Structure 1
Amino acid sequence: MKEECRVIFHPLNTVVSVSRGTNLLAALRNAHVQIESICGGKGECGKCRVIIESGDFREKRLTQKNHVTAAERERGYRLACEIFVSGDMEVTIPVESRIERPQILCGLSGECDCGGMDPAVRIYPLEIRSNPTLPHAGRSIRLREYTGKRPAISDAEYRKMQESDTGLVAVLTETNGYPEVIDAIPNEKAGPPLGIALDLGTTTIACALVDLDSGLVIAESTTMNKQITYGEEVITRIAFAMKGDGLRLLQQAAAESINLAISRVAEAAGVDPPELVEIAVSSNTVMNHLLMGTDPGYLELADADVSRKPFIRKAASLGISIHPEAYCFCLPNVSRFVGGDAVSGVLSSGLHCSPDISLFIDLGTNGEIVIGNKDWIASISCASGPAFEGAGISSGMRAMHGAIEKVAIEPETGEAHCMVIGGGKPRGICGSGLIDCVTGMFQAGILDFKGILTSHPLVREGHNGPEYVVVRAEDSATGRDIVITQADMDYFMDSKAALCGGIGVLLKKYRMKVTDIRHIFLAGAFGAFVDIHNTVEFGIIPHFPNAEVHPVGNTSLKGAYAALVSKTKRREAEKIAGIMVYIDLLVDVDFIEEYTAALFIPGKEEYFPLKLSE
């Protein structure tokens, strides 16, 4: 039997007992401490920094990358993924490694218009009559006002109806394709049926509690997806799921995160979670598989045959704590990296209803782009999303308290002026701030047209090569310089080229010019917080001179809401998924050309015929 060791995590005052030899990052996960770990514990991202205050440990360097300087090592800094517990320890989680107070876009309020209420779950009064001529035959049961197929009724519910001496109402669901009575409730306790619309993101979760009679959104909540400590990107999650008990741990983490979000909205509304009779989930393909506990390993294959039918399961079988007989409905996927969240984006933006050619862009942890109109729809996915959320950047962080969200750089001096979420000293820079920063750096001559740092007076030789100082150490919350390094710029340029090149592939395949696009729908935090002028100026997306730009908020949650309150919208979502073409950039011959051309600022002349300032 392995010896147990006690690990104390400051400043969280969290204590966990683990076996000797346990990896410290695994210990943090066991203690439910959320810490940055983009690479999932491979030693590549350098984000899971901790300070060893005392105790016995063993260190195993996973890569040759030097994420911790010699001076920092003297102060006890290490990467949690490279530390193995050898005895009792005290560990501090420094401010730059903590995940706290994230800025998560929710975006539903009051009553949302989805074209009419037609929920899959309804309540019907029960009419129960005794047969005086056959007293032993039991009582007849009928659902008043219900005109559909005869519903299935479980033995337990049937007995409850037969034995009841009071008036009852039946809760009937048609989610699984056939009507089914899942509960019988006394009249005096019956209220409108309540359901959950949920956006299950790779990083974050947004949840809304909805009255299924009126469509009213009663309460909303957000939280982090607890899977993030297993890796930030979907590819990392797939790899973890394929190892040992990984799939079970990821499924459990998803269910726990969902239950936390549900408990918050239920508390706000003054109801118990078992009163919630339906949940509709919108998520990407990998998250869909992980929630269902379905092996996602085949999604690594370029020719993966992905079902375009919605996943439907009993919520209880997934560990989701709502009504024990309630169903979980997941919007349908399209391909291995275009999922129900992209279908939700099309559904809620109305792209599929208009004769105009529109472009839908959703840059979360993964990036999905959809082009089309009422006659045709095509999509791509690109791994550019993390860079625009601050991931993969040395001083990058997600949009939360302490993140730099806006930057203005003086063209003459190159000095940066920053706005911080929540005020105070900054901890790092998030996606919107990063886009502002690199655009200002280019305009001030700190970057050349290839994204290379120039010999500007504010560019210095840093620990890992040339770097531009955005905030000096004495002005930051971490006591470290917030910088943009050449390695950061290489990563950012790669992401910019992937996104712009992907859009270029869609335009080229369908013989479209930038002047043909009439609407651009920008979803999520990308649409809500980024400066669209800077996004085009730097060449992240092309300049569409005739297009109207629409920030459309959390379309994934809006799509889940539509599916929750309308069976018609569910059928519409299936139709969208069925006709949507998917172009896999990893095997597409045009992508290399478009990607290479987009490695310059701003990019191909046909996509950027004029600078916006002209």
Structure 2
Amino acid sequence: MEQPDAPVIRVIFQPMNRVVTVPSGTSLLSAIVLAGLTIESICGGKGTCGKCRVILNSGSCTDAPDTVTGCRLTRKEREAGYHLACQVTVLSDAEFTIPVESRIDSPQILVTKPAVAGTVEPMVMQYLVELFPIEGLPVASQSVRFAGYSGLRPRMTDEQYHALLDPDTPQTALLSTLHSPPKVLAFLPAENPVRLYGVAIDLGTTTVVGCLARLDTGEILATASTLNRQITYGEELLTRIGYAASPAGLATLQKSAAAAINDVIATLALNAGVEPTAIFALTIAGNTVMNHLLCGLDPHYLELADAEVSRVPLIRTAQGLGLLANPAAEVYCLPNVSRFVGGDAIGDMITAGMQESDDLSLMVDLGTNGEIVLGDRHWSASVSCASGPAFEGAGIRAGMRAMKGAIDHVEGDPTTGKIRWTTIGAAPPRGICGSGIVDLAVALVETGALDFAGKFDSTSPRVRAGPDGAEYLLVRDDESGTGREIVITQQDIDYLMDSKAAACGAIAVLLKRYKHTVGDVRHLYLAGAFGAYTNIEKAVRFGILPWFPAATVHMIGNGSLSGAYACLVSEKSRAAAESMARHMVYIDLMTDTAFAEEYAAALYIPGRPDLFPSK
């Protein structure tokens, strides 16, 4: 017998007053996504991170067994109506409040406007079409030429060729230089010339940043950013790979990435007064997993150590990916190198100019995934490490994104043992973000609350016993913006120590493999939010980065976006990107025997003496 459809119910989310209708029995997290809201969900719906807290105001729902969420919600919170959205099934009309600690509110996203290119060689060129009759043949056999073009004969389809044969309608041809010979993308009426635009995108695991530029001059007209809509399905790359295991999950993540990019493009077009249909070229700098998910490619094999990854750039159409641009526009994804070193790292290298320097340089980008490259214009070698999430506030009980109310700077007084903090927007503290976590770790060491092995001193005034072991009381409940204490647990410190050891150990592996010391490095390029917002001196004192006494430190900001822009308007940059990807050595730390030794040595503050010669 055919089962009746589930009744449709209304779910209201406060304080946004957002209403969505869903079938009874729908996951609350799914309803939140359908309502267009984004909340914290680091674990991707497994119920283990405890970040997607909501409060049931009215209605009925069921929870997953306590074995899943019992350790994430206290009895007092349950009595107050708290639930984890990913573990709730809504059964009737209901109203929920999304509390302040679960909301993603005005995140601090690094948006760096790239330097305008000097020489412009864009992905798409426009040429006037000239038709010449071929003597002795009918009109339908006219010769086609492109005024001012020299090079290999461009490719076009039979359909495109026959569309040109009306001599009364002068046209211009748009040629894509991504192909050899060039490919005809479209024909436009010559009497109404269209200015061509391109968009460069940094497709990050957490954020999406873009800029819009004129293709003829390279002039940047607007920049914009948003959160990657995939974050609701998991913060870490492996979580998303797991979510993409089914065709439906992969399709969901592809559409989420495209929707986030479209949010950025819509803002860019509006701010620049440009019609999206005039966008004929897009470049994407994303890590290997993001490139796979955007292009709808199964990323499951990337979980395997030493997985063979194609280093050929992925090229798609805007229409095929569902992007807001001219349907014929081509999308160029900067090439991947390995399973966790992708086009974003290549973009960083282009921005740093490592491919043009004789000096030994180190590029470090500690985002959600850490990517590190050592080399010069003759050679380069890379590693990736799972260090970034801790430095972005993920995996820490009180961790949060860099947004209003996040503790972003901490200072400790060694004499009094007291710790002072500031928050983004000078708002009451809701948690602590990446830059604040690094500051706090150093402050805890300076005030004696933390020893060189990363263990709390039980005699320190603010160290106490908590439900999960020792913890440090950072903010009292009457000081916080959530009405709850903000504490740092020993588990948090252990996770931070693990992350810092992974980063420092990865750098040590590269130096050891190529027989270099910290004194040989002449340039240290720091990319992304870690480089822009973290106090680098404290990062060295804690042991995230070694001390490079002879190196000049360069903060290159959003190097991935700048590299994507360079590839949008420069054929030379695209050639450099592909050359670097082809020739770069990748060391998989999962199979490298030296990494275990270097990691163990880095599990102390700051770390191995030869990596910190003056510390």
Which amino acid in 1 is paired with 2:614? Answer: L
Alpha-carbon distance between aligned partners in 1 of 2:173 and 2:430, rounded to the nearest angstrom: 53
Alignment-derived partner of residue 496 in structure 1? 500
Which amino acid in 1 is paired with 2:262? Answer: N
Q: Report how far residue 457 of structure 1 moved.
A: 0.7
- Residue 438 of structure 1 aligns to a residue whose secondary structure is helix
Alpha-carbon distance between aligned partners in 1 of 2:134 and 2:541, rounded to the nearest angstrom: 78
Which amino acid in 2 is paired with 1:450? Answer: A
- Larger mean CA deviation between 434-443 and 469-478 belongs to 469-478
Alpha-carbon distance between aligned partners in 2 of 1:178 and 1:136, rounded to the nearest angstrom: 26
Question: Please, which of 384, 400, 408 is the counterpart of residue 381 of structure 1?
Answer: 384
Alignment-derived partner of residue 8 in structure 1? 12
Question: Please, which of 396, 400, 410 is the counterpart of residue 399 of structure 2?
Answer: 396
Alpha-carbon distance between aligned partners in 2 of 1:171 and 1:540, rounded to the nearest angstrom: 49
Question: Please, which of 78, 94, 99 is the counterpart of residue 99 of structure 2?
Answer: 94
- Residue 87 of structure 1 aligns to a residue whose secondary structure is coil
Confirm or deny that 1:550 pairs with 2:554. yes
String of CA shifts for 1:140-178, please: whole Å, max 9, x gaps: 542110112222334554455434745432221122433
- Residue 26 of structure 2 aligns to a residue whose secondary structure is coil
Which amino acid in 2 is paired with 1:231? Answer: G
Alpha-carbon distance between aligned partners in 2 of 1:601 and 1:283, rounded to the nearest angstrom: 33
Q: Report how far residue 10 of structure 1 moved.
A: 1.0
Alignment-derived partner of residue 236 in structure 2? 233
String of CA shifts for 1:51-93, please: whole Å, max 9, x gaps: 1111111111363661211111111111111111122211111
Give the gaps of 5 or more residues in structure 2.
none
Alignment-derived partner of residue 29 in structure 1? 33
Taking structure 1 as the reference length, what is the TM-score of the superposition?
A: 0.95
Alignment-derived partner of residue 600 in structure 1? 604
Alpha-carbon distance between aligned partners in 2 of 1:208 and 1:161, rounded to the nearest angstrom: 34
Question: Please, which of 76, 80, 84 is the counterpart of residue 81 of structure 2?
Answer: 76
Alignment-derived partner of residue 572 in structure 2? 568
Alignment-derived partner of residue 282 in structure 2? 279
Which amino acid in 2 is paired with 1:24? Answer: L
Confirm or deny that 1:580 pairs with 2:580. no
- Residue 377 of structure 2 aligns to a residue whose secondary structure is coil
Paired residues of 2:202 and 2:285 also in contact (CA < 8 A): yes
Confirm or deny that 1:316 pairs with 2:315. no
Which amino acid in 2 is paired with 1:509? Answer: R
Q: Report how far residue 132 of structure 1 moved.
A: 10
Alignment-derived partner of residue 355 in structure 2? 352
- Larger mean CA deviation between 540-549 and 146-155 belongs to 146-155
Paired residues of 2:9 and 2:23 also in contact (CA < 8 A): yes
Cα gap change, 1:414/1:296 in structure 2, threshold over 3 Å: closer, same or farther? same
Paired residues of 2:56 and 2:82 also in contact (CA < 8 A): yes
- Residue 413 of structure 1 aligns to a residue whose secondary structure is coil
Alignment-derived partner of residue 111 in structure 2? 106
Alpha-carbon distance between aligned partners in 1 of 2:191 and 2:271, rounded to the nearest angstrom: 22
Confirm or deny that 1:364 pairs with 2:363. no
Which amino acid in 2 is paired with 1:482? Answer: I
Q: Report how far residue 134 of structure 1 moved.
A: 7.1
Aligned pairs for 1:431-446 within 5 A: 431-446=434-449
Paired residues of 2:411 and 2:421 also in contact (CA < 8 A): yes
Which amino acid in 1 is paired with 2:85? Answer: A
Q: Report how far residue 244 of structure 1 moved.
A: 4.9
Q: Report how far residue 27 of structure 1 moved.
A: 1.8
Q: Report how far residue 426 of structure 1 moved.
A: 2.1
Alignment-derived partner of residue 337 in structure 1? 340
Which amino acid in 1 is paired with 2:294? Answer: L
Paired residues of 1:123 and 1:192 also in contact (CA < 8 A): no
Question: Please, which of 474, 481, 485 is the counterpart of residue 477 of structure 1?
Answer: 481
Which amino acid in 1 is paired with 2:199? Answer: I
String of CA shifts for 1:373-393, please: whole Å, max 9, x gaps: 122211110010000001011
Alpha-carbon distance between aligned partners in 2 of 1:97 and 1:458, rounded to the nearest angstrom: 26
String of CA shifts for 1:351-390, please: whole Å, max 9, x gaps: 2221211110001110001111122211110010000001
Taking structure 2 as the reference length, what is the TM-score of the superposition?
A: 0.95
Alignment-derived partner of residue 122 in structure 2? 119
Q: Tell me how many residue pairs correspond in the alignment.
A: 609
Cα gap change, 1:131/1:374 in structure 2, threshold over 3 Å: closer, same or farther? closer
Aligned pairs for 1:253-268 within 5 A: 253-268=256-271
Alpha-carbon distance between aligned partners in 1 of 2:214 and 2:528, rounded to the nearest angstrom: 24
Confirm or deny that 1:192 pairs with 2:174. no
C-alpha RMSD over aligned residues = 1.8
Cα gap change, 1:53/1:64 in structure 2, threshold over 3 Å: closer, same or farther? closer
Alpha-carbon distance between aligned partners in 2 of 1:319 and 1:59, rounded to the nearest angstrom: 36
Alignment-derived partner of residue 270 in structure 1? 273
Paired residues of 1:131 and 1:137 also in contact (CA < 8 A): no
Alpha-carbon distance between aligned partners in 1 of 2:85 and 2:197, rounded to the nearest angstrom: 42
Which amino acid in 2 is paired with 1:274? Answer: T
Paired residues of 1:198 and 1:281 also in contact (CA < 8 A): yes
Alpha-carbon distance between aligned partners in 2 of 1:239 and 1:329, rounded to the nearest angstrom: 26
